[in-house]
Amino acid sequence: MHPLSVKHASSRDWLYPALILINTLNGPGFVVLAEAGRQAGALGAVLLVAAFALLATFSARRACAVAREAEAHKIEGGGADLAGPCRTLWGGRGARVAAAACATALLACAVAQIVLCVQLADALEEALVGRRCGVVVRLPSLELTGKAALFYAGCRPAAEPLPAPALEASVGVLLTLALARLARRAEGPRTQGVGFACFCLGAWRWGAYLRRETVADRAVAWLGPSPLAAAPAVCFNFACVLAVPPLALRGRAEAAARGAGAACLFMALAYAAVAVLGAGGAPTAPSADALLATGRASDLAAVFFLFVSQLAAIPTYLAGADGLIKAHLVAADARRADALAAAAAWGLAIAAHESELFVSIVDWTSLLLLGFTNFSLPLVLDVAWGHPGLAGEACPVALRRLSRALASLTVAGFAALVCREAGAPWFVVAAVAGAAAGSPLPAGRMPRSDSRDSVV
């Protein structure tokens, strides 16, 4: 069953979509928000969290409206993703490009989620038994002699590095794979509820750890030294909009929009609390390893709960990528689409969890695609489609203007962020941002019986 089909929820229920999106928002970025609070300061972090929570909520509502409109007009590809509506703007090729970008972004999120789960499982194993066990496959290398084993299974001390170049299927990898497959087979309110409960417990213990590590005599900085440096970490923690369109189909647009708003509000409160605690924390960045090093049973349980909570989002990301691949890329072979998405995600995760190169590839993929696909694309489609309402009604003029302004600003902002992270000088960043902000937004070719597509 597709994890986003909401089969188990009532047709007007917003709680199940909220649980799905809370678990989707609970990703690798959660544990780094303490460092973001240290960079932005307590007040700066709260303002950043509030701003991006509102942006994510607004983008999700617009995505729900576009999905409903696409479903109502029976657009080829449907409204279950954002690639189908792109067909009315850029044709079949544009829809395939959008599908590839969205699927790649979802797979990057899945890989990051899997890598975090594997790292947490490995850290738990090392903390409990002092070693790491698994199967290691050495890659071909000039340093290997004819007697060197290319394949071996066993255990190594926790402090011993992995012999490179090699791939390791550790106990953490196997455990994450088994539990993620179980979560996908048992997808439903109960699975999402377990993920939500584990997140609450893990976040509570994580907050307690940050509170213990707070420097008592250190004044909390209300505005940190580099607030803008913390903005990407906060922003990408709200990148859940690609998971929203499937929840809005079959008359559930309003319920999905309410669920998205509730999820963003809940996670904004959790993110703000962690960031504020981090703003007055110890000078070293907190991590799961540091949490396990305390030796406390409660801290060990916190890492375990965070590990279990991360599993719930993996089926969501893989199902979203599967749907895009089937609908727009290799529709003739559905099984091949499933195998392609799963193999790509798990293969990259096994390679990435011990490799800085693969981690960098995943990070750059997220940087290049996550912001545009989650925030800019829904707003651009909303503008092009004439700002449809959630229930077929006309969208208020103020919201139309806001959507148009945010569409231009997000495109410019993410383009500038990519240039800045690539090391471009400030004048190049400014020029790219200005050109992106000044570019005309596309006009849709969607047939309409009224004049809702005009923006005052």
**pLDDT tens, residue by residue, 14-62:** 889 999 999 999 887 887 788 888 888 888 889 999 999 999 999 999 9
Mean pLDDT of 114-118: 84
**pLDDT tens, residue by residue, 256-268:** 999 999 999 999 9
Question: What is the per-residue DSSP string for 234-283?
Answer: HHHTT--GGGSGGGG-TT-HHHHHHHHHHHHHHHHHHHHHHHHHHHTS-S
**How is the chain split into domains, by residue range?**
15-395
Q: Given a cut of 50, is residue 252 above it in pLDDT? A: yes
**Of 24 and 213, more confident:** 24
Closest CA to 399 of 50, 86, 58, 49: 58
Instruction: Identify the band that residue 85 occupies on the pLDDT scale cut at 50, 70 and 90.
Output: confident
Q: What percent of the chain has pLDDT over 90?
A: 16
Question: What is the per-residue DSSP string for 286-343?
Answer: P-HHHHHHT--HHHHHHHHHHHHHHHTHHHHHHHHHHHHIIIIISTT-HHHHHHHHHH
- C-alpha dihedral, 66 to 67 to 72 to 74, nearest 10°: 110
Q: Given a cut of 50, is residue 91 above it in pLDDT? A: yes
Most confident segment among 139-143, 332-336, 385-389: 385-389
**Of 230 and 161, more confident:** 230
Q: Given a cut of 50, is residue 450 above it in pLDDT? A: no
pLDDT at 354: 62
This prediction's pTM: 0.84
Q: Given a cut of 80, is residue 215 above it in pLDDT? A: no
Q: Given a cut of 60, is residue 181 above it in pLDDT? A: yes
Q: Given a cut of 90, is residue 74 above it in pLDDT? A: no
Looking at residue 396, the DSSP 8-state letter turns out to be: P
Instruction: Identify the band that residue 455 occupies on the pLDDT scale cut at 50, 70 and 90.
Output: very low
CATH, range 15-395: 1.10.4160.10
Q: What angle do CA 53, 55, 257 make, to 5 degrees?
A: 85
pLDDT at 432: 85
pLDDT at 323: 85
**pLDDT tens, residue by residue, 276-318:** 888 776 555 556 677 777 778 888 888 889 888 888 888 888 8
Instruction: Identify the band that residue 334 occupies on the pLDDT scale cut at 50, 70 and 90.
Output: low
pLDDT at 150: 63
**Of 163 and 266, more confident:** 266
Q: How far apart are CA 157 and CA 126, in angstroms?
A: 8
Instruction: Identify the band that residue 63 occupies on the pLDDT scale cut at 50, 70 and 90.
Output: very high
**pLDDT tens, residue by residue, 377-429:** 999 999 888 888 877 667 788 888 899 999 999 999 888 888 888 888 888 88
